[in-house]
Structure 1
Amino acid sequence: MSLLRARLGGRAAPVLETALLQDRARGRVPDGWLLTAEAAEQATAAPVAAHRAARLAGRDVHDVTCSVGAELHALRGVAGRLVGSDLDPVRLAMARVNVPGVLLVRADALAPCSRDTVLVADPARRTAAGRRTWRPADFTPPLDGLVEAAGVFQPGVHAGTGRQETHHDLVVSTAPGLDPALVPWAAEVELVSLDGRVREAALWSAGLATTRRRATVLSTRGPGFAVTDAEDDACPVAPAGAWIVDPDGAVVRAGLVRQYGARHGLWRLDEHLAYLSGDAPPPGIRAFRVLEHGRYSEKTLRTTLRRRDVGRVEILVRGLDVDPNALRPRLKLAGSREATVVLARLASGPEAYVCEAVTDRVSPADRS
């Protein structure tokens, strides 16, 4: 810091802060961008923004919460007319540097200053005290206000009024844990994951929706895939086969486990659990080769793992009140091998599956 002060004087602190923020936001925005701390935290990851931009290709788009320009960067060259707006003059100034050539306006998202555009919004999901919030009314700007400003028809709100006019199509990026019942206007709810982590729920108005529910699984290591509720969901319940598959979190949160299983010839271990099984796992995912299984008890599991010379164990739990971090030391393992233990409550009772975790290669068949 002393060297920076000697070279940059009073600009040393903001230069250092910018460098640290750029490092924090790496992978979300291009290197060298101007950022604020809040903008760095909220910026949409580049692959997620690119996926959304592809769905809006050729449309005129207005990003009404453009911040420092992450969504605009993905949309530039893909959308038709492109406008960005924000109330924060500092973020707008940064966006002018980050995405030069895009029309930027200081404007309130609740009073859109464009016509015949798709509105894109990513409201902040923290209260004034900095706590994360799940209530759409507490978003900044409020979600209902965005919907009303766009003129999107809301069942129950405009019921009986004869109002059917929509001034703008709307897509909103929000938290993946949002209850869909709180957003009845959303004709499509899309859960999006990146590299195994569920990043967002994208809410699409009727003019943009192509299905009711969608899970989009993105990867920085290869092609992704999508599953929708329009697909076959014939996925029976049966005992475990050679493999156990734990579907991506986006598939689970979107309620599309049956569709995913049917696509890959899998079956469910239990009607109420997201675990799937089959004779071969889908390509490109982490699956678990079943070595042996039986009724779960801590004593039996300890004996089985010791017999298999297991010293390091990953424990996955579904439907049972078991804390893996508390169970692991009680097993007192000292072997030389690794294993994955899947604990699940089935209709028949608690079951333990001792497995070998395997990640298969990516298949072109799962390209989105």
Structure 2
Amino acid sequence: MAYAFDLDDVAFLRSPAGTEAVAALSGRPLTADSRLADVAAARAAAGPRFAAAALETAVLRGKAAAKLDGTADWLFTGDALQQATAAAVARHRARRLAGRDVHDVTCSIGADLREIARVARRCLGSDLDEVRLAMARHNLAADGATAGFVRADALRPTSTGTAITADPARRDGSGRRRWNPADLVPPLDELLDVYTGRDLVVKCAPGLDFDAVPAHAEVEVVSLAGQVREAAVWLGGLADPEVRRRATVLRADGTRDELTDREPDDCPTRDAGQWLVDPDGAVVRAGLVRHYAARHGLGQLDPRIAYLTGDAPPPGIRAFRVLDHGKYSEKALRALLRAHDVGRLEIMTRGVDVDPDALRRRLKPRGGAEATAVLTRVGSTPRAYLCRAERT
């Protein structure tokens, strides 16, 4: 169970003694095997009262390094760090708020607010959790960012003339995700009702049911380095009036690609060409597979399946050069693997009920080559495509 910080913990962690204690602990292994020794070191460095807070802070800072840049001096709770937006995604979302007065009504420990403060004219952060609010004050000060803070309920507006941003809690006390928009804290429909007519963006889980948002809203699905991270609901002057769905692909090198439903979606169904393409998850989740195919001159193997095909893949992606294909059965796939001397096998599936790990164990490929098996269906027929993955 995660440690429950209180305001006294925050005050200690911000003090010179607390800063020194956490710095000393950050140099320790902080693993399951070193736990007893780490606890003893924490008690020596911070005293019995604040040992747990200091140790937890050292652990959380280590975890935060891969998600939030420039947070070596930040304070976190376990749940707040888990829900915090990755820095690259938060920066992307903040771009639409540049030059505005912005109120983050669920600011938590300040991960989104920091990026907003860098581009907004003025910004305000509020939260009901006084511990997270105190941490946010510390964190933005440590980052040199300027923001006002107030303890307030997100469902009781405390600002006027501001664009509103919200990130409702999506996990229950056990850490399990909440997928139903009505189960968010605060619920999505109540946020939309309270801020009707305001410029508003609400961060949601990528599994958001699009039917739960107003027809005039813009829903943006964002991925980072190939992993779908969030769906953002944009309303009012923050939304593009001509767009209802947008996919944004953020790459590890800092570049990005965007696709919207405003683009053409003329996409043929065709037999497999020289390449198969598995569109980024943001494109698939946003329902823009046909638009992506039309942009890049590709077709679909099946109109209900997201795998695309063509004779030239889009640049800068991981695509799959088709080596062989045929109807799928384990026996037929095993024969394909033998024919191409495959020993290292990646298995991708869509539209077929196959467990890739269990299938790989049964196939026991033994050759010297590496390949990817794409298992899907065309109409009612299961198909197998043996491919070589290449970076285009």
TM-score if structure 2 supplies the norm length? 0.85
Return the offset for 1:28.
2.8
Q: Give the distance between the partners of 2:378 and 2:71, measured in 1 at CA.
A: 48
Distance in 1 (CA, whole Å) between partners of 2:191 and 2:248 is 24
* Structure 2 letter corresponding to 1:181: D
- From 166, 191, 194, the equivalent of 1:146 is 191
Once the 2 structures are TM-superposed, how far is the Cα of residue 112 of structure 1 from its aligned partner? 1.7
Show the 5 A alignment for 1:114-129. 114-128=159-173
- 1: distance between equivalents of 2:267 and 2:304? 12
Q: How far has the Cα of 1:19 moved from its partner?
A: 1.2
Aligned to 2:14: none
Question: Is the 2:122–2:147 contact (alpha carbons within 8 Å) kept by the matching residues of 1?
Answer: no
Q: Which residue matches 2:78?
A: 37
Instruction: Decide which of 20, 45, 49 is 2:59's aligned counterpart.
Output: 20
**Conserved in 1, the CA contact under 8 Å of 2:109 and 2:135?**
yes
Contact 1:188 1:206 in 2 (8 A): no
Q: Which amino acid aligns with 1:324?
A: P
In terms of mean alpha carbon deviation, does 186-195 or 1-10 score higher? 1-10
State how far apart, in whole Å, the 2-side matches of 1:170 and 1:212 are. 15
Aligned twin of 2:344: 312
The CA distance in 1 between the partners of 2:224 and 2:218, in whole Å, is 19
One of 229, 236, 239 as aligned partner of 1:206? 236
Measure the CA separation in 2 of the matches of 1:288 and 1:236: 19
Q: Which moved more, 1:172-181 or 1:136-145?
A: 136-145
Provide structure 1 residue ranges, at least 5 long, that are not aligned to the other structure: 153-165, 361-368
Summarize deviations over 1:309-336 as a string: whole Å, max 9, x none.
1111111111111111121122121111
Report the alpha carbon displacement of residue 128 of structure 1 after superposing the two structures with TM.
Answer: 5.0
The 5 A counterparts of 1:298-337 are 298-337=330-369
- Name the SS for the 1:342 alignment partner: strand
Q: Matched residues in 2 for 1:133 and 1:77: separation?
A: 30
Match of 2:136 among 89, 95, 104: 95
Moved more, 130-139 or 251-260: 130-139
State the 1:143 CA deviation.
Answer: 1.4
Counterpart Cα distance in 2 of 1:7 and 1:171: 43
Write the deviation string for residues 92-142 of structure 1: whole angstroms up to 9, x where unpaired: 111111112310111110012110111100000123555322222221112
Structure 1 327/129 Cα, relative in aligned 2: closer, same or farther at 3 Å?
A: closer
What secondary structure, in the 3-state scheme, does the structure 2 residue paired with 1:76 have? helix
- Give the counterpart letter for 1:228 in structure 2: T
**Partner secondary structure for residue 94 of structure 1:** helix
Which runs of structure 2 are paired with 1:64-213 in the superposition (5 Å)? 64-100=105-141, 101-128=146-173, 130-150=175-195, 152=196, 166=197, 168-184=198-214, 187-210=217-240, 211-213=243-245
Note the residue ranges of structure 2 that are not aligned, 5 or more in a row: 1-37
Aligned positions of 1:325-364 closer than 5 A: 325-347=357-379, 349-360=381-392
- Contact (CA 8 Å) 2:343, 2:369: kept in 1 or not? yes
CA contact (8 A) 1:5 1:12 kept: yes
Aligned partners of 1:186 and 1:203 also within 8 Å: no
Higher helix share: 2
Secondary structure of the corresponding residue to residue 238 of structure 2? coil
The one-letter code of the counterpart of 1:193 is: S
Hey, what does 1:161 align to over in structure 2? none
**2:41 maps to 1:3:** yes
Moved more, 11-20 or 350-359: 11-20
Following superposition, which runs of at least 4 residues in structure 1 exceed 3 angstroms of deviation?
A: 127-131
Q: Is the 8 A contact 1:127 1:139 kept in 2?
A: no
SS at match of 2:132: helix
Q: Distance in 2 between matches of 1:344 and 1:86?
A: 47
Q: TM-score, normalised by structure 1?
A: 0.90
Where 2:282 maps in the other structure, the secondary structure is: helix
User: Would you say the 8 A contact 1:169–1:206 is kept in 2?
Assistant: yes
Any conservation in 2 of the 1:185–1:205 contact (CA below 8 Å)?
no
* Shift in Å, 1:5: 2.4
Partner of 2:287: 255
Residues 174 and 53 (structure 1), Cα distance of their counterparts in 2 relative to 1, 3 Å cut:
same
Letter in 1 for 2:284: V
**1:237-258 deviation per Cα after TM superposition (whole angstroms, max 9, x unaligned):** 1111111000000000100011
Offset at residue 306 of structure 1 (A)? 1.1
- The one-letter amino acid paired with 1:328 is R
CA displacement, residues 287-346 of structure 1 (integer Å, 9 cap, x when unaligned): 101011111121111011012111111111111111111211221211111110001100
Query: For residues 328 and 186 of structure 1, what CA distance do their matches in structure 2 show?
Result: 46
Aligned equivalent of 1:59: 100
Asked whether the 8 Å contact 1:62–1:84 carries over to 2, the reply is: yes
Q: SS state of the match for residue 237, structure 2?
A: coil
The count of residues paired between Structure 1 and Structure 2 equals 345
